[in-house]
Amino acid sequence: MFAAAGSVGSDVLTKNTFQTFESANRLPVPFSKSINSRANFPGHPVFVFLDFDGTLVEIASRPSNVYLSRERKQSLEALANTAGVYVAIVSGRVLDDLRHRIAAANLFYVGSHGWEWMGPDGCVHRCGIDRRVAEALQNLYDQFSHRTAQMSGIILEDKNVALALHYRMASEQSAANVRSEFLTAIREYQERGVALEVLYGKGVTEAKAAGRNKADAVAHLLSRYAPGALPIYFGDDQTDESAFRRLHGSGITVLVAETPRPTFASFYLKNPDEVYKVLRLLIHKE
């Protein structure tokens, strides 16, 4: 259980090109026409960071219903095998689940919002969490698991360093009620000094061990494996904003959303299909 607006031009892109947005009060601009090949990044190794749900795959009603298609898997592997390109999947899913659903070689896999990760060599790294946090997550699971099991459209997911309450399939009233109770229970632990934080996603609210996030994972992988690389981060959710903000002025940040929203990302693509179009361009040097 719980272990302790408008298109940019096609000029050559460099790190300095992306010092554009100073806060999350700005809307991103379309990214689909901003590169036309890997040649847009002369002299730079590239480290591509990708969220999973909503970025590499479409959001599903149940997290267990999501898998990567063969074609998309082949695109990721081709990108990871391109000279000068590193690829990492950065997700809130637990590491083992993420690897199972993608099953592509030569990638970095980051699970649980940065609390665990695996390199292409297969070596797994996991960070332990504070005992009080582990106990709080276990207590929250015990408190809500039986009730949510009896509720239509509500799923409580144990994510080791987090507890995710999914309500995408529930009625609006049921979702509002159980979410309110969940947040109240989390707040009680926070008021007692337990280092829990709340994350909000698309039809999900999480109680998570504080202290690490996706931005930390990105910074760690860059510094350890490719300190000179140009980072490109694709993500669709609020949990990706920490990475967007961390890479401001030093990388390319792309929100995946049908309708752009205020964000720390500088650019946007509409959906996973558009993401793969960009990834395929990065595979080719000409």
The catalytic residue positions are 51
Helix, strand, coil: what percent of the chain each, to 5?
35, 20, 40
Placement of tokens 């009620």 in the chain: 177
Other C-beta atoms closer than 10 Å to the C-beta of 268 total 25
SS3 64: helix
- Alpha helix (H) ranges present in the chain? 70-80, 95-102, 131-149, 172-191, 214-225, 241-246, 272-283
**Could you tell me the two tokens for 27?**
């809307």
Q: How far is CA 42 from CA 13, 14, 20, 75, 226, in A?
A: 9, 8, 21, 22, 16
Six-digit token string for 146: 């039986």
Pairing assessment for the beta strands 230-235 and 124-126 based on DSSP bridges = unpaired
Residue 49: enclosing H or E segment and its boundaries? Answer: strand 46-50
